[in-house]
A and B are shown apart, each in its own frame.
Chain A
Amino acid sequence: MNFRPFLRSTLLILTTILPSIPFLSCSIDPDPGERYAIVYGVANYKEPITTLFFSVNDAVAVENLLKSRGYPSEHVILRTDSEATKDHLQKDIEDIAAKAKADSLFLFYFSGHGTQRISIDQSTHEYIVLYDHANPSNGIVEDSELMRLLQKVPSKRKVVLLDSCNSGGFIRDFPGVDAIPPDYRGSGIDYLKAAQKAFVKYFANVEEGDIPYTEAVVIAAGGALEPVFEKDEINGVPIAHGLFTYYLLQAPYSADRNHDGWITTLEAYHYIRDQIEKNWNRYLSSDEVFLPRISGGPLDLVIF
């Protein structure tokens, strides 16, 4: 038997079939269908706290963005400053839980203060800080508490966007282990350490707190140990938003990597992170740098 026909057929298969396999995955209809959103922003707290200037701007702009991208007005709830309490949050979530279906998309956005506290057992918990922050029962929402509230919404597709300090702590670090450490300041991305951790966690079957990827895809403005920032301008360009939200608002026009007209959680995350690295981290001391984080699960959701 002659060798040449087999060489030719091998080359034919190598050059045609194998490279074409990846293109089996083409977009069909990415429309996310029925959408609901709760948008909270707190700049003026009931009791004095470090001043925030733009959190209400953030929330209003995100509400407008969502409406402009197809979220029905009656499906978007906006609460700012004194209205942004835990009582309202519980009620708003229950209202949406009564209307949303399993195939609906639910989005929760928060802009305001965030913090981290260490329990007596040395475990850490992150919080978003609502208007009445001096009242622990009505002013702060712990990561595990937010998860329990999210569980009331029957939607399979849920997205949480947090523009607050320490917000990366809301993300469960499994099964995807982040090579970006919880405090990015002064330490680089460590793939080797993350690979070791991923290997150990696979066999340890660790169940941690925080929001798992099965409950929601969380995009956080910064790591569990990082502060995040808002600015009125950068290099003469007016911003008047939290940096995370500022670039989130640009996502519909600049983050569409596959040019299908829809923005997914990964596209938004990638764009926001890229812009913060280019326009903020590059010019600042290591004390002020931060990086957004995203949940480490297999799901990517179309958000707008």
Chain B
Amino acid sequence: MKIISRFALFAILVSAVPAFSIDISHSLSSRGTVVISRLEGFDFKTQGSNSLELATLLEWSSWAISGILGIHGTEATNLDGGWGYRGYEGFHARVQVEIPFSIGGTSMGDLSSSGTHDKDTSVKEKASREKPTSGSIFRAGWGGGGGGFFSRYRETDLLFFYPSAYTFLFLDYLTAYPRIRIRYSVPFEWYFRKDLDSSFSFGLSIGVVYTWTNPMNKEGR
């Protein structure tokens, strides 16, 4: 009975895929942030941090959900006052949801520079990806998610784990190459670290997104 139920559920999910017009994309991005941390009894100090992330995006309509794997490295702080916060490095995973800006049900995320006025922005967006265009489009939005980090304090073999929550604004530049877009985003992330009283970061991320069009989406085109 259970097997039948699972099969039915699977069939429903598979049959629903074309209806949602899911596109699969991959992205490679580089993120530079400033981490600000504080331990009780000590001051806030800043650390420079870089990360490199590889993401898989499932996109339908203008929404997307992403699974991300990355590596990160954070420099030690300055030693002003005879102390500092240690640098660390490691790997992390994130899951995030992203949504385009919209007002009154009409997407305002697409800032068209081509002068077209399609009512169905998702159609326009899809069209912009499927065939080369002379014009280009920006798309803006915001998102949020959570992550888990495994890090190692530099110069040691001491490992620690911490989760995070974050939000970000993004701006996609839909290039003349239909499958490729460049993504700029501004993330703000809060780290729930047990070794610090507070730690958060903000910065800039730049990446390239490549969309593999779902073969099922091609039906009827």
Q: Which residues of A contact B (CB under 8 A)?
A: 1, 3, 6-7, 10, 13-14, 17-19, 21-33, 102-103, 105, 156-157, 174-180, 189, 191, 194-195, 198-199, 202, 205, 213-214, 260, 262, 264, 266-267, 269-270, 294, 296-302
Contacts and interface: CB of A to CB of B under 8 A. Distances in A.
Given A1-B113, A202-B194, A266-B155, A156 B41 contact: yes
Given A18-B30, A24-B34, A300-B76, A179 B161 contact: no
Main secondary structure on A side of the interface with B: mixed
A189 B47 CA distance: 28
B145 interface: no
Given A13-B206, A17-B204, A294-B156, A33 B81 contact: yes
24 contacts: A6-B175, A14-B30, A21-B48, A21-B49, A22-B48, A23-B75, A24-B46, A24-B48, A25-B77, A29-B81, A30-B79, A105-B82, A175-B160, A175-B194, A175-B195, A191-B157, A194-B157, A194-B159, A214-B39, A269-B155, A270-B156, A296-B156, A299-B85, A301-B83
Nearest to B38: A298
Contacts of A26: 78
Contacts, number: 177
A299 to B, nearest CB: 6
Contacts of A19: 32, 50
Nearest to B47: A25
Nearest to A30: B79
B168 interface: no
B126 interface: no
Given A27-B79, A298-B195, A298-B196, A6 B157 contact: no
Contact of A300 (B83, B161, B193): B83
Given A1-B113, A3-B177, A198-B150, 18 more contacts: A1-B135, A7-B182, A17-B32, A25-B75, A30-B78, A157-B82, A157-B83, A175-B193, A191-B159, A214-B39, A266-B154, A269-B155, A270-B155, A294-B156, A296-B158, A298-B193, A299-B86, A300-B83
Contacts of B196: 298
Given A3-B176, A25-B77, A156-B41, A302 B157 contact: no
A300 B77 CA distance: 9
B182 A195 contact: no
A7 B37 CA distance: 34
A141 B98 CA distance: 57
B195 A297 contact: yes
Contacts of B204: 13, 17-18
Contacts of B83: 32, 157, 299-302
Nearest to A266: B155
A189 B78 CA distance: 30
Contacts of B76: 25, 266, 300
A301 B83 CA distance: 4
B153 A10 contact: no
A101 to B, nearest CB: 13
A179 B206 contact: no
Nearest to A193: B159
Interface residues of B, number: 56
Given A26-B78, A178-B157, A266-B156, A298 B206 contact: no
Given A22-B48, A175-B195, A202 B80 contact: no
Interface string B57-97: 00000000000000001011111111111100000000000
A266 to B, nearest CB: 5
A264 B79 contact: yes
A20 B183 CA distance: 20
A202 B151 CA distance: 13
Given A21-B33, A25-B78, A157-B83, A296 B160 contact: yes
Interface in B176-207: 176-177, 182, 184, 193-196, 203-204, 206
A298 B37 contact: yes
A21 B79 contact: no
Given A30-B80, A262-B79, A298-B85, A179 B41 contact: no
B10 interface: no
Nearest to A173: B158
Contact of A27 (B39, B78, B152): B78
B48 A195 contact: no
B161 A199 contact: yes
B41 A18 contact: no
A185 B95 CA distance: 41
Contacts of B203: 21
